[in-house]
Every structure is written in structure tokens, then in C-alpha cells.
Amino acid sequence: MGEQRTGEELAVAVARMSRILLAQPTVQSTLDEIVRHAVDLVEGCEEAGILELDRQAEVRTLAASSDLVVASDRAQEEEREGPCFDAARKLHEAYRIADMNESQSRWSRYAPRARKLGVGSMMGFLLWTEEGTLGALDMYSSRPRAFTDLSENAGWILASHAAVALSSARSTAQLHTAMETRSEIGEALGIIMERYKVTGDQAWDILKESSQQRNVKLRDVAHTIVTTGEIPGAR
């Protein structure tokens, strides 16, 4: 659980965290590190998680420090209400629930389930960048009023740095995927050119035609050709 730190100690810890996050090899490891640091750095935080809300208002738990976090996310999705659900859906930058026992009127269905899970208080922040909302970083304590103004300030600082690191990790992953896709499409075109003794433009037409006829993405058709040597739909 996070302990109280001076402003200087927190600044040093967050700087170290930022370096660790930017050095992560995958998006998932970045998410896991964000959660780990939330528990370690934010006073009162016993558990933490990151959730994402899609356009159909379905909740995805992207990272969690325990089963309690996963169960809380599931309860909010099933009840269609709750602090994390509201933050991600309504773009509230931050929230702090001092005592879950006093939240019955606000979330009449979710609050009782949260209390049964052992949630005494909660706090959360949007993981926000200029590109848009990435999700919500949520923190839990079994004790009511565990989070203070200092806790909220530390959480906000951590979430701001985490959002930048997560955005960077996702951009890097997308770039790697794009490069791999481009390479695989080029390899598939080479196979088609060799198989049918056609030009590059003709091979491209064959690849597009196969994609359209099968209603399959171009990169997936290319992957099939590269991995099997077979051209879908070819005669």
C-alpha cells in the first residue's frame, strides 16, 4: 500500500516511474507497471486497476492488481453504473469516493456490491492525452476515507505521466504492427508474382481481388499467403 511521501520524494518516485514505463517492451507490461506504481506510490491505495469503456459501454479490465478490481469492473458493467464507469463514460477527469457506505443514493445497485467486495473508498482518474481518452485508472482501499487531498494530488500526477507513457507504448505497438503488415504484404506480392509470372501491379490486383471476394482484410489474406503458400480464391 502506498505510504505518505513528501513532495520531493513523490517527484523523484514519479520520475523513476516514468523511466520504467517508457522502457517497457509491450503495452500490457506498461499497463501492469502503471497499476503496480499506483499501489506503491499513492497513499491509502491497496488495489488498483485500469479499465476501458468501448462505444457499446462494455467494460474491459486492461490491468488489475487483484481479483477485487476485476470483480468491481464487472459489477459496474452489469449494473451500468459506478464511479469508474461514470469517469470513463462522462469524461470526469477525477473522482474520490470517501466512503462507499454513503454512496447508496448515487449508485443504488453498484454500491452494495462494492461493499460486499470489501471496498471502503475509491479514487480514480482518466488516462487522458491529446489523442483522446485511453481509459480510467482506479484505486481502491478497504478503509473508508483512506484517500486524502495529498492522495488525490499524487494520483493525478501519476495518472498524467502514465497516460503519456501508455499513449507512447500504443503508438509504438501500432507502428510495429504496420511495419510487420507492410513487410508481409510485400512478401505475399512476391509469392503471387512468382506463382503467376505477373508484374507487381498485377499481383496487387490479385491480392485485392482475393480480399474483396472473401471479405477479408488485405493483411489477413497476405498472412495466409505467406504462412501457407496458398492464394485464397485462386484457381
Domain-ending residue, one of 143, 172, 201: 172
Res 173: pLDDT? 62
92 lies in some domain? yes
79 lies in some domain? yes
Question: Do residues 131 and 167 lie in contact, with contact meaning Cβ atoms separated by under 8 Å?
Answer: yes
CA torsion sign for 57, 62, 67, 72 is: negative
Q: Which domain holds residue 189?
A: 175-228
Judged by DSSP in three states, 199 sits in coil
Mean pLDDT of 207-214: 82
Whole-prediction pTM value?
Answer: 0.70
| Tens digits of residue pLDDT in 47-72 | 999 888 776 667 888 889 999 999 99
| Cα angle value 124/130/131 (rounded, 5°) | 95
78 lies in some domain? yes
The CATH number for 40's domain is 3.30.450.40
Judged by DSSP in three states, 116 sits in helix
Q: What share of the chain is helix, strand, coil (3-state, %, to 5)?
A: 60, 15, 25
DSSP state of 100: G
More confident residue, 127 or 122: 122
Per the structure, how many domains does the chain have?
2
| Co-location of 72 and 103 in the same domain | yes
| Co-location of 117 and 206 in the same domain | no
Poorest-pLDDT segment among 38-52, 73-87, 166-180, 201-215 = 166-180
pLDDT band at 119 (very low <50, low <70, confident <90, very high): very high
Q: How far apart are CA 77 and CA 80, in angstroms?
A: 5
